Every structure is written in C-alpha cells, then in structure tokens.
Amino acid sequence: MLGGYLGKILRINLTTGELKDTFFDEDVLRKYLGGSGLGARILYDETSPETDPLGPDNLLIFLTGPIEGTKMPNAGRYEVITRSPLTGSYGEANSGGKWGVRLKKAGYDGIIFKGISPKPVYLYINEGKPELLDASELWGKDTFKVDDLLREKHGKKACTCSIGPGGEKLSRLSCIMNDGNDGRTAGRCGVGAVMGSKRLKAICVDGNISTPVVKEAELNESVKKWAPIIMKNMEGLREGGTSCAVPFIEEIGDIPIKNWMGGSFDVEKLATPTMNATILSGRYSCANCSIRCGRIVTIKDGPYKCDETAGPEYETLALFGPNCMVDNLEAIAHANELCNRYGLDTIGTANAVSFAMEAYERGILSEEQLGCKARFGSEEDMIQIVHKIGKREDFGDVLADGTKIASEKLGGIALEFAVQQRGMEFPAHDPRYADSIGLQYATSPRGACHLSANCHGEEYGNAYSGYGFYDHGVVALENHSTEYKPEMNTELEHIMCLCDSMTCCKFLIGPMGDETGETITNWLSYITGWDLTKEELIKTGERIFNLKRMYLVRDGQSRKDDKLPQRMRKRRMTGGSADNIPDLDGMLDKYYELRGWDEFGIPTKEKLEELDLLGTL
C-alpha cells in the first residue's frame, strides 16, 4: 500500500497547451524516491546530449518528494531538474520556503514542462485543478511584484514561484524565486533561463489536500521526541543565520576574498553581532521548520532603504562582501534584494561582479565596455554591475551568462581568473581551505556545488561521524590533508542525494547525532509504508549519484572534466589556507576506486549492475 505517495505528476506541453496527470510505478518511486533522484531519472530518459537547454525539447521538472506535506521536520523543499544552460549538462537547483508544500497540497508531487508557449503564461493549480493562464501583464515584472499580483488575484494563501527579468532575458545566472520577498530561491544552473525560454512566468499553487501517512501515530510520536532536540541543537543557526560563523570562516581561510585571490579581510562589519544590531528585523523559517535560519532585514533610510525583506545568506554575504572587497552590510543586503527581484542567483552574480572587478583593475575590461567602473571595494560599482547584469546592458549582457562565457569573450588572462567548474561559479567555500571541498567541486554533477557533499561543516569541526547512516564512528579530519576525504565525500554524497530526493533540508543531517540515519529511515518508512532499512536507503543514494554521473558520461564527460579552475592551483599566500593546494589527482584516484568507477571516472558495468542501473541506461 502506498502512503499517498503516487508520484502524481502534472505534465504540460507548453507548445500545445496540453495538460495531463501521470503516475509512477511504486518500484520506480522506491528506487529514486522523488526530487532530484526521480528528476534525474526522468531527465536521463527524456533528454539527450543533443537537447538544447533553451530549446523546446528540454524539460523543466519541478519535484517534491514522499515526505512533502507531512509532519516530518524540515520537509518543505522542492527540486528543479533540467538540462542546464550554464553547465551544458545535468542541472538541478532546490529551494525551501512554503511553495513546495503548497504544491503538494494543491494535489501534485511535481510538474514537468516541455515545449515553448507561444505567449507568456503562468500555471495556476487550485486543489488539483491546473490551468495555464495569460501572463502578458506579468511579463517584465520583478519576482516580488509577481508574487504580490498573483496573490492579490488568487488569494493570500496561494504560493508562487516565478522568474524575473533575468530569466526572461535567458541569463544563465538566472534562478527561480518563490514566496515573494521571503526570497527563497532555486538558485543554480540557470534554471530561470529554462523557464524563460519556455515563456513560463510563474506557477501559483493553492489547496489543502493532505498527504496521507501510512503510520501516522508512529511518525507523530517520533517527531514529537526529536523536534525540540533539533531546535536546541540548531540554536546557533537560529541566532546568527547561515552567516553565523563568518569571523571564524575568514580566519581559517575558507571565505573568498578579492575574486578568490586570498589575503585577509576585516569582516567585523558584516558579522552576526553587527547584523543583529543594525538591519535584522526578524527570523524566517521554511515550512515545517523550527530552526528559522532565514534573515529578515529592514533598512530604514539611506540609499539602500528597504522594508522587511529577505536578508543575505552566508554565500551572498561572503561573495558580495569580501570577494568584492565590500564591507557595507546595507549595500550587500541591497545587492541581494536586487538579485532576488531580477531573479538572479546571488552566488553566480556576485562571482560575475568580482570577476568584472578583477578584469577592470587589470585593464582588460574598460569603463567604456562595462558602462561603469568596477573597482574592488566600491559598493556603488557593485550595485551598478548587478543592474547591468539584470538588464543585460553593456558588458553586463556578457556577464549575465556567467564567468566562463565572459572569460572566453575577454580571452587571455581573463581565462585564468574565472572561478568556476563545469561552467558554474564557486560558492563561498575555498578548496584551498579544505581538500574535501576541492574534491566535491570537481566531482559534483552540477559543477561547483557546496551541497553535493555538504562537507564544510565536517571540516570546520575536524570530525566526521557518518551520522548513523554509516557506523564507523567518528573520524578526525585535518583540513589541509587528503586523508579520509574521498571516503567521507562518497558517503556524504549518498546522504545528500537522499535529502534532495525525499526532499528535506540538509540541516536535518546532524542535529540528531548518531541516530540521524535510523530516525530518517523510520520516518520515511512510516510515511510510505515501505519497510526500509538504512542499507537500502544508502544504496538508493548511491544509485541516484551514479545516475547523475551517467548523465554527464553520456554527454562525453569523464576524469578530464573533474577539475578545479586555475586560481585554485595558486596559493592564497596569507591567512588560514595560505599554503594548501589540494592534491585533486590523488583524491580522484582513491575516490574512483571507492566508487567502483574506472580510471577515467566512468562507472563500471559491475557497479551499474549492483545498483540496478545497468539495463536502464
């Protein structure tokens, strides 16, 4: 018996306007769960190396997972899976907020878009009834405005996700935003451009359909026990948000500075005590979450004045801050707000700004080309460049497609300081600080991703436990060492694939300590009615990771593509990671061996057979 989890997917052909409900077989759902697992399966089966990411044959897949809409903590996320215009291959992005749960309550586990609409449309689903509606009035508007207008029309209980001008203009840095000025975002891989290419402006969902849970009493009881523990163990995150540890991260040399050149930066003006004492006006939590790591900020006056709006996360703060040499917290909050409104990934955009600053200061990008100056440390220049990227004006038109394309346009030494992998810009964790981060960026299917192994927390604490999914006890870690990093990343990648497929927040991995693995397995069993074991789940995570790898392999990728950009092979010279260059090749040898991949990084037949993938590729 299925616990209500039918894999009910709304399939929409935007070219013809046809809408159709479809379902997945239980064995497929059990093998791939939902979210990025099921999405990778669909994308593998229904796109090919010839599929143009911005053409009609690409799919734009929105998926929740089996736990969405239940009482399981931190179960409020959704995944977007598509062929990425930024990386040219497998792409995924996920987001929190309330939209994912509301989609489930509207009656669907997911939506798959194909084709291109003849005119701008948005999708409205109200309790199982989907309609494609005209979006000509919304086209050109920013994401906050779109949320206002749609909820004015369809009621305040409705949730929206949408693209801004960034996605409309097919910027490869564009994202999909949800929940208006709550500022939640499926940020990476240029998913906004895919939505823009389909002329799909927004998805507005409403409903109150509940998610059946097979063993509801057991779930409720267990959640009741764990909820306060999770809340307590994540107090620091609630207090300081994701940027709670900024001074520590600067000291150890993990934070990017001056377009990843390194050095040191006085982060005091950006740190939690400053934010809490100045612009912080509230704390935000996604659906089903008691951690409340989100920031709500208000700037009362001055050039960056704004009402209550989403504040910058750690990645945004670090990349618009030290990496652009800007120490004005209000300016950073404003840049964040601009990105949210334009519908631009702050990680990609901030990297594009710091890249432009370096190009400008080295004299290979002129003020005339860019339409403004681009000085490190200038908040005015930073804000202007964000506008230029959002509007695709002047050289902002090139930067809007990311640093790889911009560096190829400028040529010469610009190719040396575009800090990206597989075309995707680096998040704000430096591989020179911890070798596992380098291995993660090199091997993550979507490029430079800090959530693929999510290993920076382990490196901060110098310890890795396996979280009860793996029972090897606590392993001590040295940051500047390759020791145990391939082993750890391999395991964490399986666990993270599970999070992205169930789909739950990654902050749920950890606060339950060594009981995490068992507890999550139980919860998923209670919900679905499947008699799951940790071992089956781990294998599921491994299956999903290997499937994504095979998507890359089919596109011609192999070991040669598991790499780090030139700047990561240059020492930072000062600070906590001054002298470390990760031995990527040494780690890859070991990592491939552990994974059962051949010397070129291609899964062997034996491994694919072990994971029940062989006949499916």
What is the largest distance, in Å, between two alpha-carbon atoms of the chain? 66
Residue 578 CB, nearest approach to a second copy (Å): 13
Q: According to the binding rule CB under 8 A, does residue 229 interact with a second copy?
A: no
* Whether the Cβ atoms of residue 424 and residue 87 lie closer than 8 Å to each other: yes
Number of residues that bind a second copy (CB under 8 A): 20
- Per this entry, what is the length of the chain? 617
- Of the listed pieces 270-278, 347-355, 473-481, 559-567, which binds a second copy according to CB under 8 A? 559-567
Q: According to the binding rule CB under 8 A, does residue 413 interact with a second copy?
A: yes
- By beta-carbon proximity to a second copy, the closer residue of 251 and 555 is 555
The single residue among 218, 518, 589, 610 that binds a second copy, judged by CB under 8 A, is 589
The single residue among 27, 277, 363, 560 that binds a second copy, judged by CB under 8 A, is 560
Residue 569 CB, nearest approach to a second copy (Å): 4
- By beta-carbon proximity to a second copy, the closer residue of 506 and 570 is 570
For residues 350 and 385, give the distance between their C-alpha atoms in angstroms, rounded to a whole number.
10
Which H or E element spans position 18? Answer: strand 18-22
Q: How many CA atoms lie within 13 A of 479 on its CB side?
A: 21
Residue 566 CB, nearest approach to a second copy (Å): 5
The single residue among 54, 227, 581, 617 that binds a second copy, judged by CB under 8 A, is 581
Q: Is the dihedral of CA 115, 117, 121, 123 positive or negative?
A: negative
Q: According to the binding rule CB under 8 A, does residue 558 interact with a second copy?
A: yes
- By beta-carbon proximity to a second copy, the closer residue of 321 and 601 is 601
**Residue 353 class from Cβ within 10 Å (0-12 exposed, 13-18 middle, 19+ buried)?**
buried
* Whether the Cβ atoms of residue 84 and residue 446 lie closer than 8 Å to each other: yes
* Triad 616, 470, 587: Cα angle to 5°: 75
Residue 243 CB, nearest approach to a second copy (Å): 30
Q: According to the binding rule CB under 8 A, does residue 361 interact with a second copy?
A: no
Q: According to the binding rule CB under 8 A, does residue 600 interact with a second copy?
A: yes
Q: According to the binding rule CB under 8 A, does residue 570 interact with a second copy?
A: yes
- Of the listed pieces 65-73, 378-386, 514-522, 558-566, which binds a second copy according to CB under 8 A? 558-566
List the one residue out of 74, 96, 72 whose CA is nearest residue 310.
96
For residues 107 and 481, give the distance between their C-alpha atoms in angstroms, rounded to a whole number.
49
Residue type at position 592: Y
Three-state SS for 267-317 is CHHHCHHHHHHCCEEEEECCCCCCCCCEEEEEECCCCCCEEEEECCCHHHH
Q: According to the binding rule CB under 8 A, does residue 578 interact with a second copy?
A: no
* Whether the Cβ atoms of residue 43 and residue 252 lie closer than 8 Å to each other: no
Q: According to the binding rule CB under 8 A, does residue 585 interact with a second copy?
A: yes
Residue 32 CB, nearest approach to a second copy (Å): 26
- Of the listed pieces 64-72, 199-207, 382-390, 562-570, which binds a second copy according to CB under 8 A? 562-570
* Whether the Cβ atoms of residue 508 and residue 230 lie closer than 8 Å to each other: yes
User: Helices 35-46 and 534-554 sit at what angle, rounded to 10 degrees?
Assistant: 30
Residue 584 CB, nearest approach to a second copy (Å): 8
Residue 83 CB, nearest approach to a second copy (Å): 18
Q: According to the binding rule CB under 8 A, does residue 214 interact with a second copy?
A: no
For residues 180 and 206, give the distance between their C-alpha atoms in angstroms, rounded to a whole number.
15
Residues 537-556 that bind a second copy (CB under 8 A): 556
Q: According to the binding rule CB under 8 A, does residue 590 interact with a second copy?
A: no
- By beta-carbon proximity to a second copy, the closer residue of 23 and 600 is 600
- By beta-carbon proximity to a second copy, the closer residue of 127 and 593 is 593
Q: How far is CA 189 from CA 178, 303, 304, 422, 503, in A?
A: 16, 31, 29, 10, 19
Would you give the end-to-end CA distance of the chain in angstroms?
29
Q: How many CA atoms lie within 13 A of 326 on its CB side?
A: 27
Q: Which residues contact 347 (CB under 8 A, 6 or more apart)?
A: 187, 188, 315, 316, 319, 425, 426, 427, 428
The single residue among 363, 412, 473, 615 that binds a second copy, judged by CB under 8 A, is 412
Residues 46-75 that bind a second copy (CB under 8 A): none
Structure tokens at 101: 């749960």
- Per DSSP (E only), the strands in 286-431 are 294-299, 306-310, 420-421, 424-425
- Of the listed pieces 99-107, 150-158, 515-523, 563-571, which binds a second copy according to CB under 8 A? 563-571
Residue 416 CB, nearest approach to a second copy (Å): 5
- Of the listed pieces 61-69, 472-480, 534-542, 568-576, which binds a second copy according to CB under 8 A? 568-576
Q: According to the binding rule CB under 8 A, does residue 415 interact with a second copy?
A: yes
Q: According to the binding rule CB under 8 A, does residue 617 interact with a second copy?
A: no
- Of the listed pieces 107-115, 405-413, 495-503, 529-537, which binds a second copy according to CB under 8 A? 405-413
Residue 551 CB, nearest approach to a second copy (Å): 14
Residue 358 CB, nearest approach to a second copy (Å): 11
Residue 496 CB, nearest approach to a second copy (Å): 27
- By beta-carbon proximity to a second copy, the closer residue of 99 and 592 is 592
List the one residue out of 94, 54, 89, 50 whose CA is nearest residue 74.
94
For residues 223 and 219, give the distance between their C-alpha atoms in angstroms, rounded to a whole number.
6
Q: CB 515: neighbour CB atoms within 10 A? A: 13
Beta bridge partners of 11: 20, 112
Q: Which residues contact 368 (CB under 8 A, 6 or more apart)?
A: none
Residue 417 CB, nearest approach to a second copy (Å): 9
Q: According to the binding rule CB under 8 A, does residue 586 interact with a second copy?
A: yes
For residues 306 and 298, give the distance between their C-alpha atoms in angstroms, rounded to a whole number.
6
Site string for a second copy, 500-519 (x = CB under 8 A): --------------------
Residue 480 CB, nearest approach to a second copy (Å): 14
Residue 111 CB, nearest approach to a second copy (Å): 34
The single residue among 283, 569, 578, 616 that binds a second copy, judged by CB under 8 A, is 569
Q: According to the binding rule CB under 8 A, does residue 614 interact with a second copy?
A: no
Q: According to the binding rule CB under 8 A, does residue 363 interact with a second copy?
A: no
Q: According to the binding rule CB under 8 A, does residue 571 interact with a second copy?
A: yes
**Interface positions with a second copy (CB under 8 A):** 411-413, 415-416, 556, 558-560, 566, 569-571, 581, 585-586, 589, 599-600, 602
